[in-house]
Amino acid sequence: MSNICLTGIKPTGALHLGNYFGAMQPLLDLSKKTEFDKFLVFVANLHSINSVKDANTLRAYTQDIVLDYLSMDLDLAKTNLFLQSEIRALTELTWIFNSLITVAYLERSHAYKDAVANGKEANMGLFDYPVLMAADILLYNSNIVPVGQDQKQHIEIAQTIAKKFNSQYGQFFIIPKPYIQDNTAIVKGLDGRKMSKSYNNTIEIFESADSIRAKVMKITTDSKAPNEPKDPDNCNIMAIYRLLAKPEELSIMESKYKEGAISYKEAKEILAETILEFFQPMRNRRQELLQNSEYISEILSKGAEEANAIAETNIQKIRQLIGLK
Ligand code: ADP
Ligand code: TRP
């Protein structure tokens, strides 16, 4: 039986450093480990429609995420990339799970409570978000799910649903494990809060070099003078630099901070160039892919076909187990 690693990202706007290090880097990390022989990676467009209501905007965001994924160094021989909405059995499994899980249990979801507290429209899609996500994971009997820290509770909900199904209908689902990297669990934004589109404090990976440089210059710091010693463990510039710099570069920068041998302005200049250098291969690849829409369509249709094949086999067994057949 294959060892499946699965993950998805909602298409809701341009990819920023928080998304990359929080949600994509764990996937890249696992793709270098040999024990996983299959990677299912999808664009969670069904999860987006509870907030993105304009069709053209959704299409544009979807295309962006597909390009973002393909510009990363994924091993396409082992990876199926597809759109979530192409998987026919997914909404059926969501419905089955809806009949298994209680409203009271879902009401404890942090993401739901936060969204409602922030005045977001509480449509049924928002409430049922974790159940659709559980179906995403369990439909393929995935073993491991690389995600950002904020998705931890969603994975726990998927585990609960899997256990409940297994005890109700007989052992079928593998209990999936989350894969969360501690050092990138929460990437800080320009103002030191969590980097997020909703805080307007992001650095986007594919924005222009000048715009990245200008944003880095806006990172907030204390007001220490250029030659004053500075604390590298307590600095918004360093918090981002740490994610990107090579170990020897990092220790040089840390020494300069402690010795008061660098100004914040200089540190920002180094950070901006480090960001650009780090993502240059992805930026080049994305540019090439933009000219090659046929190649992208082929990858997506092959990805959906193979994911649907696993999904169909499993949903037939599930139907049998619950008496729909
Ligand atoms: P945003 O907060 O900008 O709207 P999303 O909610 O669309 O970002 O994030 C998509 C995924 O990227 C999240 O589920 C999370 O795993 C990851 N992510 C987003 N921001 C960060 C961050 N600042 N640090 C770590 N991971 C993040
Ligand atoms: N909820 C995830 C996010 O906001 C996206 C997602 C949907 C997902 N289904 C998934 C992630 C299944 C991992 C596994 O980032």
Span 232-277, pLDDT tens digits: 999 999 999 999 999 999 999 999 999 999 999 999 999 999 999 9
> In the β-sheet with 144-146, what is the strand arrangement from edge to edge?
79-83, 38-43, 4-9, 144-146, 177-179
Whether 203 has a pLDDT exceeding 90, the answer reads: yes
**Across 114-141, average pLDDT:** 95
Whether 123 has a pLDDT exceeding 70, the answer reads: yes
Ligand 2 pocket check for 155: Cβ under 6 Å? no
Categorize the per-residue pLDDT at 1 as very low, low, confident or very high, splitting at 50, 70 and 90.
Answer: low
pLDDT at residue 121, as a whole number? 87
Helix and strand tally (H, E) in the chain?
15, 5
Token duo for residue 232: 């590298």
Ligand 2 pocket check for 47: Cβ under 6 Å? yes
Residues counted in the chain: 325
Tell me, which fold does domain 207-287 have in CATH? Tyrosyl-Transfer RNA Synthetase (1.10.240)
Ligand 2 pocket check for 85: Cβ under 6 Å? no
Mutate to test the pocket of ligand 2, among 82, 141, 151 (most ligand atoms within 8 A of CB): 151
Ligand number, closest to the Cα atom of 87: 2
Compute the distance between CA of residue 222 and CA of residue 244 in angstroms, rounded to an integer.
Answer: 22
261's CB contacts (< 8 A; 6+ apart) are 227, 255
pLDDT at residue 273, as a whole number? 98
Cβ 317 vs Cβ 172: under 8 Å: yes
Ligand number, closest to the Cα atom of 44: 2
Determine phi and psi for 306, rounding to 5 degrees: -70, -40
**What percent of the chain has pLDDT above 90?**
90
Tell me the CA–centroid distance for residue 185 and ligand 1, in Å: 10
Categorize the per-residue pLDDT at 193 as very low, low, confident or very high, splitting at 50, 70 and 90.
Answer: very high
Q: Please provide the average confidence, as pLDDT, over all residues in the chain.
A: 95
CA 275 centroid distance within chain: 19
Compute the distance between CA of residue 137 and CA of residue 151 in angstroms, rounded to an integer.
Answer: 13
User: Position 202: which residue type?
Assistant: T
Give the number of other CB atoms < 10 A from CB of residue 184.
Answer: 21
Name the DSSP class of 83.
E
Whether 120 has a pLDDT exceeding 90, the answer reads: no
Name the DSSP class of 110.
H
Whether 195 has a pLDDT exceeding 80, the answer reads: yes
Ligand 2 pocket check for 256: Cβ under 6 Å? no
**Ligand 2 atom 6: residue of nearest CA:** 8
Whether 323 has a pLDDT exceeding 90, the answer reads: yes
- Listed residue (221, 204, 220, 325) closest to 275, CA to CA: 204
**What percent of the chain has pLDDT above 70?**
100
Cβ 172 vs Cβ 166: under 8 Å: yes
Least confident of 121-130, 133-142, 176-185, 311-320: 176-185
Tell me the CA–centroid distance for residue 133 and ligand 2, in Å: 6
pLDDT at residue 252, as a whole number? 97
Delimit the domains of the chain by residue range. Answer: 4-186+293-322, 207-287
**Across 212-229, average pLDDT:** 97
Whether 32 has a pLDDT exceeding 90, the answer reads: no
Whether 79 has a pLDDT exceeding 90, the answer reads: yes
CATH superfamily of 4-186+293-322: HUPs (3.40.50.620)
Determine phi and psi for 200, rounding to 5 degrees: 55, 40
Whether 2 has a pLDDT exceeding 80, the answer reads: no
**Ligand 2 atom 8: residue of nearest CA:** 8
Whether 161 has a pLDDT exceeding 90, the answer reads: yes
Give the number of other CB atoms < 10 A from CB of residue 176.
Answer: 22
Ligand number, closest to the Cα atom of 180: 1
Ligand 1, atom nearest to 10 Cα: 7
**Ligand 1 atom 6: residue of nearest CA:** 196
**Across 182-192, average pLDDT:** 89
Name the DSSP class of 184.
G
pLDDT at residue 287, as a whole number? 95
pLDDT at residue 223, as a whole number? 95
Pocket of ligand 1 (CB under 6 A): 9-10, 12, 18-19, 22-23, 147-148, 150-151, 186-187, 194-198
Question: For 177-292, where are the alpha helices, taking DSSP H only?
Answer: 209-217, 236-244, 247-259, 264-290
